[in-house]
């Protein structure tokens, strides 16, 4: 009886699901929440106080902090890592990010060229164009 009880006890103490996925703990969730709150407060402070003095620099810093916040959410709340589900989650993430970058870059490129090539001419430009 003790051998059967010990082997059964050991199976229940070891919560291994075999999928390699990380399980959340209260410490992990609190850490993720604090990091997400800080990464939200910093851009708010940058915009409200105009701390950097340059809108383009502020925008770039905010975008960088947004990328860091996305990573914090994926690691602490979605528990994505290279080990979960044999790496397929990570591979799907890379594929999705590639498509997003291609879509955004292409959209910005098209809008820039439309703006450049389709701008109406000023009256001064029209005067110079006439024979």
100 lies in which domain range? 82-119
Both 46 and 29 in a single domain?
A: yes
- Give the max Cα distance, the chain: 107
Q: Positive or negative CA dihedral for 70, 34, 41, 64?
A: negative
The total number of structural domains that make up the chain? 2
Both 53 and 92 in a single domain?
A: no
40 within domain boundaries: yes
Render each residue's pLDDT in the chain as its tens digit; 131 residues: 445 554 455 444 444 455 455 577 899 999 999 999 999 999 999 999 999 999 899 989 998 999 899 889 988 988 887 777 777 888 888 898 899 899 989 998 998 888 777 767 677 776 766 66
Two tokens at 122? 């000023």
How far apart, in Å, do the first and last CA atoms of the chain sit?
107
52 within domain boundaries: yes
pLDDT score for 3: 52
């Amino acid at each position: 009886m003790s051998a059967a009880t010990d082997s059964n006890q050991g199976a229940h103490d070891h919560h291994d699901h075999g999928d390699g996925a990380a399980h959340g703990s209260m410490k992990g969730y609190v850490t993720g929440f604090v990091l997400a709150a800080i990464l939200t407060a910093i851009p708010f402070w940058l915009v409200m106080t105009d701390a950097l003095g340059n809108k383009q620099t502020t925008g770039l810093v905010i975008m960088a902090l947004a990328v860091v916040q996305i990573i914090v959410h994926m690691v602490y709340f979605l528990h994505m890592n290279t080990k979960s589900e044999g790496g397929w989650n990570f591979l799907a993430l890379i594929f999705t990010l590639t498509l997003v970058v291609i879509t955004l870059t292409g959209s910005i490129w098209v809008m820039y060229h439309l703006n450049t090539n389709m701008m109406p001419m000023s009256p001064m430009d029209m005067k110079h164009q006439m024979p």
